[in-house]
Chain A
Amino acid sequence: MSKLLEIKNLSVHFNLIGRHVQAVRGVDLDLNEGETLAIVGESGSGKSVTSKAIMGLIPNPPGEIVKGSSILFEGKDLVSYTEKQLEKVRGKEISMIFQDPMTALNPTMKIGKQIMEGLIKHQGMSKHDARNRAIELLKLVGIPKPEVRVDEYPHQFSGGMRQRVVIAIALACNPKVLIADEPTTALDVTIQAQILDLMRDLQKKTKTAIILITHDLGVVANMAQRVAVMYGGKVVETGMIDEIFYNPKHPYTWGLLSSMPKLHATTDKLLAIPGSPPDLANPPKGCPFAARCPYAMKVCTDHMPEYTELSSTQKAACWLLDERAPKVDPPETIGVGGTKNG
């Protein structure tokens, strides 16, 4: 597998009135062909901003991608692309599925036309061909009677059906990368499972690489091969899915796993990570999680830890992994297999 997408030192800042928010602070990520990478983290951790930066959809102003950031797609740096060049990447090479299907579709345009737009633009199809392809795509995403529904408007579709349409739009031009920004958050649980199944099936057929942005670790376990955990605008830990679930090393990852509700839990309590995420207008000098971390040491608040390579695929940024740090065992509550690492 070769690297399709390589994000290096990505920083995105927003100049708001009286505030300079550093939403993403030096993120490194890469995506291999055909794989699914999950980016997890709580609200405000920078995961959505990262995905918008890949699409070149950071509104400027107020947003800006800081100098020194690079997003290499097949070796070419998207950060240096002009708007015209980006238009040729969006929807064709990299496309996106959004969180809320109720608002992601234009209410005054027929479903079919919304799918056809990209086909006409990127593949130079005639209206007639694009329409046939749109019907095909609707069939592919499991919409019954596609030849009728192609001429309907979004309000005639249910939430789950709309999300299928959004997926059809995103996959229309066979993109190499699909960014799914919390694709199931706004759907009810039974529909969530259907949409995830659909995405998995389609990925098998199309070999599209997926970046799945979510805060639902259950979804991650079902979908992803690799995970990046983001906190305070930084990636604090990455690894293969087994490494993150069975051998997590960062206290924030522990916290995330602990806060996942479990079916066979011995207590009724839902575990939360106390405190709130850092204010990214005044980001902390050291580790962003230090203020909420039960294991925080003095060094944590003063210096940002470097990554420690734990395997060829797993690394984490935590002072506990420094050889001078005291040995700490992860809490029992992380559940899935936390005791395995001794």
Chain B
Amino acid sequence: MGRYILKRIGYMCITFYVVITLTFLSMKMLPGTPFQNPKLTPTQINQLKHYYGLDQPIAVQYVKYMWNLLHGDMGGSFQFGNESVTALLMNKFPVSLDLGLEAIILGAVIGLLLGIIAGLHHGKAMDWSTMIFAAIGTSIPSFIFAGVLQYFLGVYVRAFPVAGWNGPSYHFLPVVSLAVGVVAEIALFMRTEMVEVINQDYIVTAQAKGLSRFTVVYKHAIRNALIPVVTILGPLTAAIITGSLVIENIFGIPGIGSQYVSSIVTNDYPMIMGTTELYAGLFILSIFVVDILYGVIDPRIRVSGGQA
């Protein structure tokens, strides 16, 4: 197992390196410069370019950037007065992480429950209603829900604050808006798996032992149905944490999303790189965690566990 993890970490580093390099190169192909203020004269722009090393060949810039990155230095943001990118990210990221994790946990728990119940009632009303809900949840984007929730629960009923991020009551609307899609996706997936697992021979074996329906479902069906669901959970988590950009904008949440967008618009190179690295790192890490979890749940893929 240790060797497997080491090997995986090696691959993760390679993936991470490729992502950084590709981002760096494609970023350099973006039109425009970071210095778009019309008041700047061409000499001033050239001075700034020289100051930030942007007049050097891309290869040199790349090597310099990578060298600094290796030493933990992501550089300073162009748009926020040369403030360190690391500090900016660390400042805003916890908010996005908080929002994303709350949404994924809420979404996964409800989604799994709905999926299990629907799967057990395959072909009945409970199944159909879950399917319809899931279809709606996956096809309507989260910002529509956000608007609807804001209007009814925020403006009309006044149960929750419409926007902001100043305490638990502020979390409800954005978390729910984000979670709807997660619930739908996981419920749909879990339902399909449950229907398949319930028809497996080993479920009949379990029933033939005289186990109660609850035990059969709880001990034999759910664990097996969970295996494929875990695979989507990792990327989904990463996507929710990093993809809550629109929701952050709608609810005025001081997360990393709006900062990312403005950094692209203003060609804030170090900020673009930093945010991408954070996202990519999260994504790669989540897939790694899923693979490890996969082995914990499914003994057949416990990679070179050594006990075979």
Q: Which residues of A are interface residues toward B (Cβ below 8 A)?
A: 55, 57, 83-84, 86-92, 95-96, 98, 100, 103-109, 114, 117-118, 121-122, 153, 155-156, 166, 169-170, 172
Contact = CB atoms under 8 A, between A and B. Distances in A.
B210 A108 contact: no
A342 B210 CA distance: 50
Contacts of B224: 106-108
Interface stretch (B14-22, B139-147, B278-286, B292-300): B292-300
Contacts of B207: 57, 90
B213 A121 contact: no
A83 B200 CA distance: 20
Contacts of A89: 210
Given A87-B211, A89-B210, A106-B220, A98 B205 contact: yes
B208 A90 contact: yes
B202 A87 contact: no
A263 to B, nearest CB: 34
A145 B200 CA distance: 29
B300 A107 contact: yes
Given A103-B201, A153-B299, A109 B219 contact: yes
Given A87-B210, A108-B298, 18 more contacts: A57-B204, A57-B207, A57-B208, A87-B212, A90-B209, A91-B208, A103-B200, A103-B201, A106-B206, A107-B300, A108-B227, A109-B219, A109-B223, A117-B215, A122-B210, A153-B300, A155-B300, A169-B205
A83 B213 contact: yes
A105 B205 contact: yes
B308 interface: yes
A88 B212 CA distance: 10
A122 to B, nearest CB: 6
A215 B202 CA distance: 23
Interface of B: 200-202, 204-213, 215, 219-220, 223-224, 227, 297-300, 308
B208 A55 contact: yes
B297 A108 contact: yes
B205 A107 contact: no
A104 B201 contact: yes
A100 B204 contact: no
Contacts of B200: 103
13 contacts: A87-B210, A87-B212, A90-B207, A95-B208, A96-B205, A104-B202, A106-B220, A108-B223, A108-B227, A117-B215, A118-B209, A118-B210, A169-B209
Nearest to B300: A155
Contacts of B220: 106, 109
Contacts of B209: 90-91, 95, 117-118, 121, 169, 172
A106 B213 contact: no
Contacts of A118: 209-211
B208 A96 contact: yes
Nearest to A83: B213
Residue among A87, A89, A95, A106 with the highest chain B CB neighbour number at 10 A = A106
A268 B227 CA distance: 51
Contacts of B210: 86-92, 118, 121-122
Contacts of B211: 87, 91, 117-118, 121
